[in-house]
Amino acid sequence: MKFAAAERLALGETLRTATKHGSASRFRTAGDGGGCVFPGAAPTSGVFTSAPSVLLLIPAFNEESRIEPVLRDYARYFRAHHRGGFRLVVILNGCVDDTEGVVRRVAAEFDEISWRVFPGRIGKGGALIEGLKLWPEADLIGYVDADGATGPAAFHELVRRAGEADCVIGSRWLPGSVLHQAQPWLRRLFSRIFHALVEALFWMHIQDTQCPAKIMRRTAAEAVHDSLRIADLAFDVNLLVALKRHGLSVREVPIEWTDQLGSTVTRSLVRTSLVMFLSVVRLRLVYTPLYRWLKPLRPLETWIYLKLKAPPPLSPREFKQADPASSAGSNLPN
């Protein structure tokens, strides 16, 4: 399939893109594959019979000082080491620096790279929700952060293991993971508290829901996209819960990781953690009968998110709470 050329989408904001290259021969259809699954989920069958095409999303907010070497490293690495098609799309949201200029400059040298621009701050989760609308364009679609914490070789390992499950995710907490630079101790503490909360609410038995190194099959992205509404950093939990409820398989694997200086999460750790706490509690309520009775409070919910300088949940339409049989795949009870 071909990436669309310089299209504009009216979503309340102007979306600009400079995606000009691609060929049908580079993007091949691949079968479903099995893997380690959530408890009760039915594993899928089959494996990729040829090198799959890969679409990598990188959400970016004011990353002019860090993103250029990341883009160059990924483009060069996948040219040299991946036989299937490779495309990298940067989703810029609310940038007020020259991130777009940097991306344009690198894209002029590497036709694998393109970008889409949202003038408003739609958040990392919002950027990924928009980027995942490109799911028809490749066999596999994944994402990493713009800071280079996940190197191209580490992400390529997820690609190699994509035949093991509908979604393969990196984990910094599994035996075998390689951490060249660990996160600050306070951030690790908050991470473990958040993990305990997520496990208590959703029972997914995943050690590292927040590692921004994930890849999924096209069919998985299609199945869960309408359930993705969290625009802040708790997006990863939203994604994993949606996969669980659709009965899709997830494999968590060790990853090579280097924590990067200058993280906006570390600089605003308490506020970011509070937003993520609110989002996962909201997500749990979404899947209960109580949620419909909370509708009058939604303007207050939006106000709270905005006061916390966070993007409110993207909810132009409600999460599906219908009979599991009405959704793609087989949902699991919580």
Per-residue burial over 288-299, b if 16 or more Cβ lie within 10 Å, else e, is eeebeeeeeeee
Q: Phi/psi class of residue 167: alpha, beta or left (left: φ > 0; alpha: ψ in -120 to 50)?
A: beta
The pLDDT assigned to 257 comes to: 87
| 113-153: pLDDT as tens digits | 999 999 999 999 999 999 999 999 999 999 999 999 999 99
pLDDT for residue 29 is more than 50: no
| Separation between Cα atoms, residue 334 and residue 98, nearest integer Å | 44
Q: What are the structure tokens assigned to 74, written together? A: 């990924």
The pLDDT assigned to 19 comes to: 33
| Separation between Cα atoms, residue 107 and residue 266, nearest integer Å | 30
pTM: 0.79
pLDDT for residue 75 is more than 60: yes
pLDDT for residue 154 is more than 90: yes
Confidence of residue 266 (pLDDT cuts 50, 70, 90): low
Residues 6 or more apart whose CB falls under 8 angstroms from that of 281 comprise 201
| 32-70: pLDDT as tens digits | 333 334 443 444 444 666 789 999 999 999 999 999 999
Nearest to 194 by CA among 179, 210, 180, 181: 210
Confidence of residue 224 (pLDDT cuts 50, 70, 90): very high
Residues 6 or more apart whose CB falls under 8 angstroms from that of 290 comprise none
Longest Cα–Cα distance in the chain: 55
Confidence of residue 185 (pLDDT cuts 50, 70, 90): confident
| Separation between Cα atoms, residue 145 and residue 74, nearest integer Å | 12
Report the sign of the C-alpha dihedral through residues 250, 185, 124, 80, in that order. negative
> Domain 16-326 adopts which CATH fold?
Spore Coat Polysaccharide Biosynthesis Protein SpsA; Chain A (3.90.550)
Beta strands in 25-77, from DSSP E residues, in sequence order: 54-60
pLDDT for residue 217 is more than 90: yes
The domains of the chain are located at 16-326
